[in-house]
Amino acid sequence: MSVLLYGNNKEILLAIEAVAAEKNIKKEVFFNALESAFLDVARNTFGESYNFLVRIGRSNGLVEFLRQITVVEEVENDFTEISLKDAQHIKKDAQIGDVLHEDMPTIELSHDILHHVQKEIYHVVLSAEKEAEFEYFNALLNKPVTGTVKKVSSNGVLVKIDRFECFIPRKKLIFGELERLSNGQKLQE
């Protein structure tokens, strides 16, 4: 079964591209997050017994909910296995050990489901942003860094370095340095 997300999937793909570029996150991270979230939706809708696969078309945004079934001589689990005879009705040249994909019925995309998907994507994006920030600053270890003071407060200073903002607490600054800093000032360490 294939479904459209919100109607025009090209807009979804453009949104993924825009956010991925803005956050400096690979588009594949978004697709994997969407597939994982929709896999949860399928499991919650149909149960944990099935072996599901969710695929999202990278070029068209089409979402496919599939059930994977293995061709066996003797079926022991109706949720994940199919007999050779029945499999050959689906695929004429099916053989023992083949894995077939069967379309699942339509899933109603309710507000709750879409909210769950949104939360999953948010967590993945947040995690990817933190990882990108860590990698960026890890590469700067033991190298000179230039930043701009964004805000000075009694607790410390907020400094913008490239596209990241860092808070330096008062106790990490040299005594009296906080009072000499002002918004917009360039700092080099």
Predicted confidence (pLDDT) per residue in 87-96, tens digit: 998 889 999 9
Question: 144 by DSSP, 3-state: which?
Answer: coil
Percentage of the residues of the chain whose pLDDT score is greater than 70: 93
Output the CATH code of domain 144-188.
2.40.50.140
151 touches 182 (CB < 8 A): no
Q: What is the pLDDT of residues 20-71, one digit of tens each?
A: 888 778 888 888 888 888 888 888 888 888 888 888 888 887 778 888 999 9
Amino acid occupying residue 76 = E
Which class in CATH covers the domain with range 2-137? alpha beta
Q: What is the pLDDT of residues 6-26, one digit of tens each?
A: 445 677 778 788 888 887 788
For the chain, give every domain's residue range.
Answer: 2-137, 144-188
pTM over 0.75: no
Q: What is the pLDDT of residues 121-162, one digit of tens each?
A: 888 888 888 888 888 889 989 999 899 999 999 899 999 998
